[in-house]
Amino acid sequence: MQSSDSRVHEGERLLRLCNACRYCEGFCAVFPAMERRATFSAADVNYLANLCHNCGECYYACPYTPPHEYALNLPKVLAEIRLETYEQSAFPRGFSLIHRGGLVATLLTIAAIAVMFSVARGLGSFASSKAEFYQVIPHEIMVATLGSVFLLAAFAMLVGFLRFWRGAIQAPIEVRPLMNALRDGLRLTNLHGHGAGCPYPNEALSQARRWFHHATFYGFALCFASTCVAAFYHFALGWRAPYPYLSVPVVLGTLGGLGLLIGPIGLYGLRRRRDPALDDLNPRGFGASFIVLLLSASVTGLLLLALRETAAMSWLLIVHLGVVLALFASLPYGKFMHGKFRFAALLRNASEQSRDQ
């Protein structure tokens, strides 16, 4: 994996300036990690770019931001390099949504819904008011479509992750650093700002982004857990959906859905108000498309739950499954990958930290 030379070169120039200054070293993990080296290879630059959580604190503190001659805008340049690592690592390479996220995600969603619709239509039990889930789309077909797309996506993500790992991380995998990296990722330690939060979306410090991200991440995790439990019920216990409102899969899914409602709306709202000096980081809907897909999945899922006894169920089920299908298909190529790369960078950081001690 190689990011374009000019951008890595620019990253190197900035890191060199930062390394001679070091005023920001108390902000986050990026600066102490930078200080561990005197020169920066392309791999180092890609690693540090993915270690950056893009809070903007160093930008506001920096006396050298444009129009200063040094034109130092570290979070912005690191964000650009980070995007390149997403693009360069994507498998297959040309599939990255960096430059056309919004459009592709929209088309993908429409296509996925259309697929679901024709599947249901072909089976003929569509739109009957008393229909059950599996009369609209039989379970085997649901599993076959979503499952195969998910497996393909998982494979593509694995290849993408390994490409990134080879080009930027290559850290040893040891227990303690792994635990530390997990902690830093799950708690978003680097957005904590020593309790004061981050200057996001603008200079005033706030914990909003961290909390909305938690809602999104843990919402996603709960939905995933819900699906796993439901699969267990179905295959191991032979219990068929729909499950009661107070059953484990529905409670997990509902909580997760709420998280995926609040989180993405909050994150999107914050990003809209982001300081323009640090914006345009996710060009043409790269980040937004992921947020919108997550939100669509939660909205349609919750509506489906609320209206599953009514005639709207069939339609909602098709739309919901279509959205989830599109979400799965886009995972390896969109903003979803940032979590894997960030975690890998946190792991390398934790591993270097453990060697310092």
Partner 1 sequence: MSFPVYDVLVAGGGNAAMCAAVSAREAGASVVVAECAPRHLRAGNSRHARNFRCMHVAPNSVLTDAYPEDEYFKDLLQVTGGNTNEELARLAIRSSPECFAWMTQHGVRFQPSLTGTLHLGRTNAFFLGGGKALVNKYYAIAERLGIRVLYNAEVTTLRMDDGRFESATVSLDGAPVEIRAKAFVAASGGFEANIEWLRQAWGDAAKNFIIRGTPYNRGKVLRLLLDHGAGQIGDPSQCHAIALDARAPKFDGGIVTRLDTVPLGIVVNRNGERFYDEGEDLWPKRYAIWGRLIAQQPTQIAYSIVDAKTADKVMPSAFPALQAGTIRELAALLKLPPDALVRTVEEFNRRVVEGSFDHTRLDNCHTRGLATEKTHWALKLDAPPFFGYPLRPGITFTYLGVRVNHAGQVLFESRPSPNVFAAGEIMAGNILGKGYLAGIGMTIGTVFGRIAGEGAARAIQ
Give the interface with partner 1 as residue ranges (CB under 8 A): 16-17, 19-27, 32, 35, 38-39, 57-58, 60-65, 67-70, 194, 196, 203-204
Distance CA 342, CA 164 (A): 11
Please, what is the minimum distance in Å from the beta carbon of residue 187 to partner 1?
20
Cα 70 to Cα 13, 44, 141: the distances in Å are 9, 21, 58
How far is residue 339's CA from residue 216's CA, in Å, rounded to a whole number? 12
Nearer to partner 1, 19 or 125 (CB): 19
In the bound state with partner 1, the residue whose beta carbon lies nearer, of 47 and 220, is 47
Residue 201 dihedral angles phi and psi, to the nearest 5°? -85, -10
Please measure the distance between the N-terminal and C-terminal CA atoms of the chain and give it in whole angstroms: 31
Number of H helices, E strands in the chain: 14, 0
* Least gap, CB of 77 to partner 1 (angstroms): 16
CB of 282 to partner 1, least distance (A): 25
Distance between CA 85 and CA 50 in Å, rounded?
8
Cβ closer to partner 1: 57 or 87?
57
- Compute the least distance from the CB of residue 262 to partner 1, in Å: 28
Q: Which phi and psi (to 5°) does residue 297 adopt?
A: -65, -45
**Least distance from C-beta 97 to partner 1, angstroms?**
34
Judged by beta carbon, residue 52 or residue 327, the one nearer partner 1 is 52
Q: Closer CB to partner 1, residue 197 or residue 263?
A: 197
Determine the Cα–Cα distance for residues 72 and 121; give it in Å rounded to an integer.
Answer: 57
